[in-house]
């Protein structure tokens, strides 16, 4: 079997390493991948958004199966295009990927089908948005409608900040066309949980829960990033809460998408907040989360490729998806300055065996050397019998990977550990 994985970050590296366990796969391609994956897959220098070239490559190379991992190509309809040329895919079609591609769509879906989420209003007219803010109180949340690299969400502490954010998006085009429509929503409070789930359109099978750390600095200070580290499972997500989520959120979402003729097949990501009034949806993503995938997949005991094939074919069974009872922690090593400006081109050096996994996100190979080439450079994941053990181990392993100007948070998992100890 020839399999290609679209994308080039740490998530894709984790997917590729997991797929390698399946012996029916003879060749794995990463499109475009990155230099840090060169030992695990054949790199194909085609951008993840270059749909024409990807389809041409798939036909020429007789690719049997494609995993489309990032949001952009999914929202652009890469799965539809690949299906048209006869390539089986893991990932939602364009019609279904809109659940992430448009926040206005997903908010309206939740309202229509009674799925718990923050109350909100959608605006395409800036003056109306500003007038609406005069009737609200802070904190309040402003979201660009479209994709914005996880940065299109502003938590405004004052109405003035909220208005500034609206003007930035709707008048100054901060997020391009993604900000032409904005969603203004209620500020929710409570622990956050990420749940990734396989769904074949018939059933939804959640994976182990996780917790992301979105802010750049320790103690959740600094700017929002793509994610600075993760732990799994998330101690806040008890069995009871999982049951409530299945009944009030997961199953209703799959049913809602079917009712809208937008059957979702692939990995659906539920970003949840556990509020005093029960679990609510903060966001949907139409794909594996990054860096959530870097703790979830190492804990998966079943064969990922088999699960992906069954998901694509609509034959998924609950018993196909098994996870270990252990814990995992992933520490993201970034370039100092991320998510704003940072330097690149520094050599990444590993000293000694890493007891865990190194998933490379932003690196290139140059003259046989691996050089930093992005904001998030790599993730170091360790597994332990307990959460505490996995955190300690992940930080120990992190010391074995070095590059100039490296930056990482020192408190990944600390909040979760505190919650777990108080439970
Ligand atoms: P999103 O890109 O929608 O996941 O939002 C990024 C982050 O902003 C989330 O992980 C939350 O921490 C925060 N956030 C988003 N929406 C809300 C909300 N309604 N209330 C409080 N925090 C929110
Ligand atoms: N870690 C959040 C995301 O993948 O969107």
User: Structural domain boundaries of the chain?
Assistant: 2-93, 125-180, 192-318, 327-422
Spatial distance between the Cα atoms of 287 and 293, rounded to a whole number of angstroms: 10
Report pLDDT digits (tens) over 171-204. Answer: 987 877 777 889 999 999 999 999 999 999 999 9
- Chain centre distance of CA 297: 13
Pairing between β-strand 229-232 and β-strand 211-212 as defined by DSSP bridges? antiparallel
Fold of 327-422: 3.90.600
pLDDT tens, residue order, the chain (423 aa): 999 999 999 999 999 999 999 999 999 999 999 999 999 999 999 999 999 999 999 999 999 999 999 999 999 999 999 999 999 999 999 999 999 999 889 999 999 999 999 999 999 999 999 999 999 999 999 988 877 665 678 899 999 999 999 999 999 878 777 778 899 999 999 999 999 999 999 999 999 999 999 999 999 999 889 899 999 999 999 999 999 999 999 999 999 999 999 999 999 999 999 999 999 999 999 999 999 999 999 999 999 999 999 999 999 999 999 999 999 999 999 999 999 999 999 999 999 999 999 999 999 999 999 999 999 999 999 999 999 999 999 999 999 999 999 999 999 999 999 998 887
Name the residue with the closest Cα to ligand 1, atom 16: 282
Domain 192-318 = CATH 3.30.470.20: yes
Does ligand 2 have an atom closer than 6 angstroms to the CB of 70?
no
Spatial distance between the Cα atoms of 53 and 410, rounded to a whole number of angstroms: 41
Q: Which pLDDT does position 416 carry in this prediction?
A: 95
Q: Which ligand is nearest to the CA of 269?
A: 2
What is the Å distance from ligand 1's center to 380 Cα?
25
Q: Which ligand is nearest to the CA of 361?
A: 2
**Of all atoms in ligand 1, which is nearest to the CA of residue 283?**
3
What is the Å distance from ligand 2's center to 103 Cα?
15
Report pLDDT digits (tens) over 213-247. Answer: 999 999 999 988 989 999 999 999 999 999 999 99
Q: Which pLDDT does position 264 carry in this prediction?
A: 98
Element (H, E) at 84: helix 78-84
What is the Å distance from ligand 1's center to 388 Cα?
27
- In the chain, the N- to C-terminal Cα span, in Å, equals 47
Substitution site in 140, 157, 227, 283 for ligand 1 pocket (most atoms within 8 Å of beta carbon) = 283
Residues 6+ apart with CB under 8 A from 178: 144, 145, 146, 147, 148, 152
Cα–Cα separations (whole angstroms), residue 423 to 195, 196, 234, 237, 419: 20, 24, 12, 11, 6
Substitution site in 101, 285, 361, 379 for ligand 2 pocket (most atoms within 8 Å of beta carbon) = 285
What is the Å distance from ligand 1's center to 191 Cα?
11
Does ligand 2 have an atom closer than 6 angstroms to the CB of 289?
yes
Are 97 and 72 in contact by the 8 Å Cβ rule? The answer is no
Does ligand 1 have an atom closer than 6 angstroms to the CB of 271?
yes
Does ligand 2 have an atom closer than 6 angstroms to the CB of 283?
no
Max distance between CA atoms of the chain, in angstroms, equals 60
Name the residue with the closest Cα to ligand 2, atom 2: 289
The CATH number of 125-180 is which of 3.30.310.50, 3.30.1490.20, 3.40.47.10, 3.30.470.20?
A: 3.30.1490.20
Spatial distance between the Cα atoms of 363 and 370, rounded to a whole number of angstroms: 6
Are 288 and 196 in contact by the 8 Å Cβ rule? The answer is yes
Q: Which pLDDT does position 103 carry in this prediction?
A: 86
DSSP for 354-382, written as a single string: -SSEEEE-SEEEETTEEEE-SSEEEEEEE
Does ligand 1 have an atom closer than 6 angstroms to the CB of 220?
no
What CATH number belongs to 2-93? Answer: 3.40.50.20
Q: Which ligand is nearest to the CA of 215?
A: 1
Does ligand 2 have an atom closer than 6 angstroms to the CB of 91?
no
Substitution site in 282, 283, 292 for ligand 1 pocket (most atoms within 8 Å of beta carbon) = 282
CA angle 178, 183, 187 (to 5 degrees): 130
């Amino acid at each position: 079997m020839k399999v290609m994985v679209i994308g080039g970050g740490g998530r894709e590296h984790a997917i590729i390493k997991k797929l390698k366990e399946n012996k029916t796969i003879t060749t794995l391609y990463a499109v475009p991948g990155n230099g840090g994956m060169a030992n695990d897959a054949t790199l194909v220098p085609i951008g993840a958004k270059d749909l024409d070239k990807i389809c041409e490559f798939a036909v020429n190379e007789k690719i049997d199966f494609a995993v489309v991992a990032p949001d952009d190509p999914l929202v652009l309809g890469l799965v539809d295009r690949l299906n048209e040329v006869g390539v089986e895919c893991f990932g939602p079609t364009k019609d279904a990927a809109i659940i992430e591609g448009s926040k206005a769509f997903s908010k309206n879906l939740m309202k229509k089908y009674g799925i718990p989420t923050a109350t909100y209003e959608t605006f395409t007219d800036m003056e109306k948005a500003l007038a609406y803010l005069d009737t609200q109180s802070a904190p309040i949340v402003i979201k660009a409608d479209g994709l914005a690299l996880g940065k299109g969400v502003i938590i405004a502490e004052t109405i003035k900040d909220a208005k500034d954010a609206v003007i930035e998006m709707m008048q100054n085009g901060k997020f391009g066309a993604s900000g032409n429509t904005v969603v203004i929503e209620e500020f929710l409070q409570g622990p956050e949980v990420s749940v990734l789930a396989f769904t074949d359109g018939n059933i939804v099978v959640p994976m182990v829960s996780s917790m992301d750390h979105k802010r750049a600095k320790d103690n959740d200070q600094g700017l929002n990033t793509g994610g600075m580290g993760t732990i799994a499972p998330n101690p806040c997500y008890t069995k009871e809460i999982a049951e409530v989520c299945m009944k009030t959120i997961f199953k209703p979402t799959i049913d809602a998408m079917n009712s809208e003729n937008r059957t979702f097949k692939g990995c659906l990501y539920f970003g949840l907040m556990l509020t005093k009034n029960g679990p609510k949806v903060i966001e949907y993503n139409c794909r594996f989360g990054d860096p959530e995938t870097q703790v979830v997949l190492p804990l998966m005991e079943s064969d990922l490729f088999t699960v992906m094939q069954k998901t694509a074919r609509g034959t998924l069974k609950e018993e196909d998806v098994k996870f270990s009872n252990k814990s995992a922690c992933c520490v993201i090593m970034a370039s100092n300055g991320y998510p704003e400006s940072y330097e690149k081109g520094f050599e990444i050096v590993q000293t000694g065996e890493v007891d865990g996994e190194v998933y490379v996100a932003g690196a290139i190979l140059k003259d046989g050397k691996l050089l930093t080439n992005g904001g998030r450079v790599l993730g170091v994941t360790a597994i332990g019998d307990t959460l505490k053990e996995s955190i300690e181990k992940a930080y120990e392993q992190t010391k074995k990977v070095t590059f100039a100007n490296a930056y990482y948070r020192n408190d990944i998992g600390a909040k979760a550990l505190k919650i777990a100890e108080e439970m």
